[in-house]
Amino acid sequence: MNPVLEAALGNRTAAWALLFITAYGEGHANRIASTFDLAVSVVRDQLLRLEANGVLVSRMIGRARVFQFNERSPTARNLRVFLREEIELLPRDDVRRHFRQRQRPRRTTKPPSVIDR
């Protein structure tokens, strides 16, 4: 993680959460916490802080609160563009490990010899 990015976004947890939401479009605290091996309560607190400041908005899907960027805020839109650029600058291993995870279940008829890499 880039220390300048951490300082600009407040802390490492906020930076990881915003990078995750930038990469996937949306995210909930449990998924973000498990991706980066963080405590769920710490991630949730950062997401709520970002929502209170207008960077993120949330909606309930079942019992999960899902966060995404506030598209009505020009600052949040500009931040998202900036974070996309930052993801491109991260080491390939970090990008592959944290920002290229499967989002959908594997097709049941897909042969086992063809594995996504």
pTM: 0.79
Distance, in Å, from the CA atom of 81 to the CA atom of 90, rounded to the nearest integer, reads 15
The structure tokens listed for 52 are: 């209170």
Long-range contact pairs involving 100-106 (C-beta distance under 8 Å, separation at least 24):
101/35, 103/24
Domain ranges of the chain: 3-99
Amino acid 30 reads N
Does residue 88 sit in helix, strand or coil? helix
Distance, in Å, from the CA atom of 91 to the CA atom of 29, rounded to the nearest integer, reads 24
CATH assignment, 3-99: 1.10.10.10
**pLDDT digit string (tens) for 60-77?**
999 999 999 999 999 999
Amino acid 102 reads R
Residues of the chain with pLDDT under 50: 117
